[in-house]
Amino acid sequence: MKWRFAGCVAVAVTALAGPALAHHSAAGIDRSKSVTLVGTVRQFGWTNPHSWMEVDVPADAGGMVTWKVEMTSPAFLVRAGWKSTTVKPGDRVSVVVRPLRSGDPGGLFVSVTLPTGQVLGERAVLPAPAPAPTP
């Protein structure tokens, strides 16, 4: 397969990354590994509670493998600089994910390199608490 393991590059996953995806447990994700997918966007879903992306990646044996990439909610993506139009079907991208432990072609989104060369993540930024009202 053309996608390659980036090895155990221990890119620190912030403590917030887990709960920010608080739809469900992420125990099936191997956070010790990164996989870089170089391929073509098949679909992109700008949806709640999770956005998602499907990326067609050429397989060594020929044909394509479709990777399912799980992302956080649009509200958090907007904080990281995303728009609903940031990626679209047909875009050539490079996507870094934390892969599923099962070995199935799927994983948790870390970052994308867009056709323009721009790199976007989904760093979950804590919302600013309301300032105390002045007396």
The residues, any chain, with a CB within 8 Å of residue 7's CB and separated by 6 or more, are 33, 34
Contact flag: residue 61 with other proteins (CB under 8 A)? no
Return the amino acid letter for 88: K
Distance set, CA 69 to CA 108, 127, 134 (Å): 6, 25, 45
Q: Which of 63, 90, 117, 133 binds other proteins (CB under 8 A)?
A: 133
Does residue 20 belong to the site contacting other proteins (CB under 8 A)? yes
Cβ nearer to other proteins, comparing 33 with 117: 33
Instruction: Please state whether beta strands 52-58 and 92-99 pair in parallel, antiparallel, or not at all (unpaired).
Output: unpaired
Tell me which residues touch other proteins (CB under 8 A): 15-16, 19-20, 22-30, 43, 45, 47-50, 52, 54, 68-70, 73, 75, 78-79, 100-102, 104, 106-108, 126-133
